[in-house]
A and B are shown apart, each in its own frame.
Chain A
Amino acid sequence: MSLLSAQNVTKTYRVGDIDVPAIKGVDFAIEPGAFVAFVGPSGSGKSTLLNMIGCLDHPTSGTLKVLDTDIATLDRHAAAKFRGEHIGFVFQDFNLIPVLTVFENVEYPLRMVQKWPLEKRRAQTMRLLAAVGMADQADKRPDQISGGQKQRVAVARALVSQPKLVLADEPTANLDHDTAYRILELMKTMRDEFNTTFVFSTHDPKIMGEAEVTFTLEDGRLQDGGSHA
């Protein structure tokens, strides 16, 4: 069974009196444990699609199922709960909380969303920090570490609650090439270790080659059914 499936999904935004179609009837399916990239130029609809997969937005029409749940049926509260339980996020700008240490940033979803008991969440946080190679930086604040390290912490935060799916919107856009490759390698390693499905977007042709399955978006339409590396 697919982890993710989209059937004729569209998304149209209303800007003033004008309807602006962002996604124009896409169909795809993503299997569990896949390492998938949505690629395409800016404005092609990558972020819109990732937002819908992440239950941050609803399709205008069509059916988008994540873990067999039609996301159109989720209200704001249910969507938040669903995200907390099943989806991890990695952001282009890392989005770490500046007043918290690296450890506390990774621990945050377990503490504030999942409400894990103290000992269990500390062990899980340290496990993830060790997995991304940041255990020795646990007490530092985000402004005391490099961009690559911040994204490692962000990956650890996305994985700490053991989600089935991690979504990363342009996770390497703010990193140099070497660091970007290392982050993608890390994501792949994490996928192997935790059997988590990774879906990311990028417009960088060098990075897109790292994906095992690539969907190309152009002007809101998928150009292929998902090419396999």
Chain B
Amino acid sequence: MLDILSIASRNLLRYRRRSMLTLLLIVIGMVAVLLFVAVAGSFKTMMVGQITDSVLGHLQVHRKGYVASIENLPLNLNLRPPVVAKVEEALKANPAVESWSPRVKFGGMFSNFAETTSIRINGIDPEREATTTPLLPGRMTEGDKDGALVGRGQIVIPQLLARGMKTKVGDTVVIVATNRDGSVNGKTFVVRGIMEGVTGPGGRDGYIHIGDARDLLRMTEAEVSEIAVRLKDFSQLGKVDAQIKQALEGVTNKEGKPMLEVHDWTQLSPFANIAKMIDLMTLFIKIMLVSIVLVAVMNVMIMAVFERIREIGTIAAIGMPPARILALFLAEGLMLGVSGTIAGIAFSLVAIFGINLWQPTFNFGMQQNLVMAPTIAAGDVLTIAAMVIIVAILASLQPAWKASRMDPITALRHV
């Protein structure tokens, strides 16, 4: 094998410029793909992190049908305490779950005593919410960021609403809401802080204490609209999602049908489509890399066979077995692929390191100057490297096969 690799390397150096150009193409392709995977991966991770860690959590548990009517925030689909207890029991039993936070959500009217507008209220347990969506307090642009996000009698209002209603931190406002029975109730709150929206300027979500929410809605028991769940390891999402679904299957209604539904963040946010788009673009970039390697290596190997027909005839005549001729040309393709891969990985890692030193920033929604910190997993590097090497070998296969099947007499007569 070493003899074949040694001769193959000499053959590649025979047409130094052509081999270098082919290597360059592979290197450029590798660098493009690895950089794209690193940068897009960093952007995607940051985007997903913003959405899950400051709004949704990784998973949410609702009563069946709630998500289908989520725009209406239906109070009649809240979870009652016995069901909440069962959910909490299942979550507690799963070691992959880090924390969960119950929420009461409803639509109401926001009044500053001069004007009135609509608002979506999230009644939260501030301590549990801070462990489930740890980036939520960081979205507060005005007001004291330290301490609990909201206390009893306090409200955090969205930036858009604060501007439109000319409301400041410390102002007193009224929230009016209709409860499940249709009766209207109001309650005054002091503005604790102003929060920027994660998904753009259209956010209308305000936050109050879950106890205040229940008081306002005149709930007689500790109902919950949804339970947001945070996992210890986000990469285990699919597995834990399935486990929790299975654990909650036994919670049934009077008809004996499952009464709960579990959704992961991708089913709850339109930004999941952007994440999918990034994955799709990554796939297309990989396909482009495969095409570049395939065409470049195949071209150089076809030329190599064509230019060395008499040489192939000679080595076949002196008794070199067809399999060894095949191996010789495959080795040339393999060496092109391996050299290009090693150089491509080296240049890519240097470029990724350079970007991390440079620290370019970007904006996402209302989040400004997020620092891009591209990283690439060893698994991604190995996958792409293996892909390039395999494609390089496959691209050499046809020319190598042709060389090994060549009739020595015809080859020796070739001019």
Q: Give A contacts to B, CB under 8 Å.
A: 51, 54, 56-57, 76-77, 80-85, 87-89, 91, 93, 95, 97-100, 108-109, 111-113, 115, 157
Which of chain B's residues have a CB closer than 8 A to the CB of A97?
311, 314-315
Contact between A112 and B11 (Cβ–Cβ < 8 Å)?
no
Name the interface residues of B1-54: CB closer than 8 Å to any CB of A.
3-4, 7, 10-11, 13-14
Contact between B3 and A112 (Cβ–Cβ < 8 Å)?
yes
| CA of A89 to CA of B310, assembled, Å | 14
Which of chain A's residues have a CB closer than 8 A to the CB of B7?
100, 112
Contact between B409 and A85 (Cβ–Cβ < 8 Å)?
no
Contact between A83 and B13 (Cβ–Cβ < 8 Å)?
no
| CA of A76 to CA of B322, assembled, Å | 8
Q: Which 6 A-B pairs have the closest CB atoms?
A: A84-B319, A83-B319, A95-B314, A113-B319, A99-B14, A99-B10
Which of chain A's residues have a CB closer than 8 A to the CB of B315?
97, 108, 112
Contact between B11 and A99 (Cβ–Cβ < 8 Å)?
yes
Which of chain A's residues have a CB closer than 8 A to the CB of B321?
77, 80-81, 84, 113
Q: Which listed residue, A51, A81, A98, touches B409 by the CB 8 Å rule? A: A51
B386 contacts chain A at the CB level, 8 A cutoff: no
| CA of A81 to CA of B313, assembled, Å | 15
Which of chain B's residues have a CB closer than 8 A to the CB of A100?
7, 10
Which of chain A's residues have a CB closer than 8 A to the CB of B316?
80
Which of chain A's residues have a CB closer than 8 A to the CB of B320?
80, 84, 112-113
Residue on A with the closest CB to B310? Answer: A95
Residue on B with the closest CB to A96? Answer: B314
Give min CB distance, B322 to chain A, whole Å: 7
Contact between A88 and B318 (Cβ–Cβ < 8 Å)?
yes
Q: Give B contacts to A, CB under 8 Å.
A: 3-4, 7, 10-11, 13-14, 310-311, 313-322, 324, 328, 408-409, 412
Contact between A56 and B408 (Cβ–Cβ < 8 Å)?
yes
Contact between A80 and B319 (Cβ–Cβ < 8 Å)?
yes
| CA of A145 to CA of B328, assembled, Å | 27
Give min CB distance, B13 to chain A, whole Å: 7
Given A99-B10, A99-B13, A81-B319 contact (CB < 8 Å)? yes
Residue on A with the closest CB to B313? Answer: A95
Q: Which of B3, B310, B408, B409 gathers most chain A CB within 10 Å?
A: B408
Q: Which of B317, B318, B321 gathers most chain A CB within 10 Å?
A: B318
Number of cross-chain contacts by CB at 8 Å? 67
Which of chain A's residues have a CB closer than 8 A to the CB of B313?
95
Residue on A with the closest CB to B11? Answer: A99
Give min CB distance, A67 to chain B, whole Å: 14
| CA of A113 to CA of B313, assembled, Å | 14
| CA of A8 to CA of B90, assembled, Å | 92
Contact between A56 and B409 (Cβ–Cβ < 8 Å)?
yes
Q: Which listed residue, B4, B318, B412, touches A84 by the CB 8 Å rule? A: B318
Give min CB distance, A110 to chain B, whole Å: 10
What are 18 A-B residue pairs whose CB atoms fall within 8 Å in the complex? Answer: A54-B317, A56-B408, A56-B409, A76-B322, A83-B317, A84-B318, A84-B319, A85-B319, A87-B319, A89-B317, A95-B313, A97-B311, A97-B314, A99-B14, A112-B4, A112-B315, A112-B324, A115-B3
Contact between B409 and A57 (Cβ–Cβ < 8 Å)?
yes
Q: A80-B322, A83-B317, A157-B318 are known contacts; what are 11 more A-B pairs with Cβ within 8 Å?
A: A54-B317, A56-B408, A82-B319, A84-B319, A88-B318, A89-B314, A95-B313, A97-B311, A111-B3, A112-B324, A113-B318
| CA of A104 to CA of B310, assembled, Å | 18
| CA of A115 to CA of B323, assembled, Å | 14
Give min CB distance, A49 to chain B, whole Å: 12
| CA of A76 to CA of B412, assembled, Å | 16
Which of chain A's residues have a CB closer than 8 A to the CB of B10?
99-100
Contact between A56 and B318 (Cβ–Cβ < 8 Å)?
no
| CA of A153 to CA of B231, assembled, Å | 73
Which of chain B's residues have a CB closer than 8 A to the CB of A108?
315, 318
Give min CB distance, A136 to chain B, whole Å: 23
Give min CB distance, A60 to chain B, whole Å: 15
Which of chain A's residues have a CB closer than 8 A to the CB of B328?
112
Residue on B with the closest CB to A167? Answer: B317
| CA of A108 to CA of B311, assembled, Å | 12
Contact between A91 and B319 (Cβ–Cβ < 8 Å)?
no
| CA of A111 to CA of B322, assembled, Å | 15
Which of chain B's residues have a CB closer than 8 A to the CB of A111?
3
| CA of A57 to CA of B408, assembled, Å | 9
| CA of A30 to CA of B11, assembled, Å | 39
Residue on A with the closest CB to B316? Answer: A80
| CA of A26 to CA of B315, assembled, Å | 29
| CA of A112 to CA of B8, assembled, Å | 12
Give min CB distance, A168 to chain B, whole Å: 12
| CA of A82 to CA of B409, assembled, Å | 16
Contact between A109 and B319 (Cβ–Cβ < 8 Å)?
yes
| CA of A82 to CA of B314, assembled, Å | 15
Residue on B with the closest CB to A94? Answer: B314
Give min CB distance, B273 to chain A, whole Å: 54
| CA of A56 to CA of B411, assembled, Å | 11
Which of chain A's residues have a CB closer than 8 A to the CB of B322?
76-77, 80
Given A56-B408, A99-B10, A112-B324, A83-B318 contact (CB < 8 Å)? yes
Which of chain A's residues have a CB closer than 8 A to the CB of B11?
99
| CA of A81 to CA of B314, assembled, Å | 14
| CA of A37 to CA of B70, assembled, Å | 98
| CA of A72 to CA of B233, assembled, Å | 69
Give min CB distance, A229 to chain B, whole Å: 28
Which of chain B's residues have a CB closer than 8 A to the CB of A76?
322
Contact between B318 and A109 (Cβ–Cβ < 8 Å)?
yes
| CA of A36 to CA of B324, assembled, Å | 32
Given A95-B310, A97-B311, A89-B318 contact (CB < 8 Å)? yes
| CA of A54 to CA of B314, assembled, Å | 12
| CA of A57 to CA of B328, assembled, Å | 24
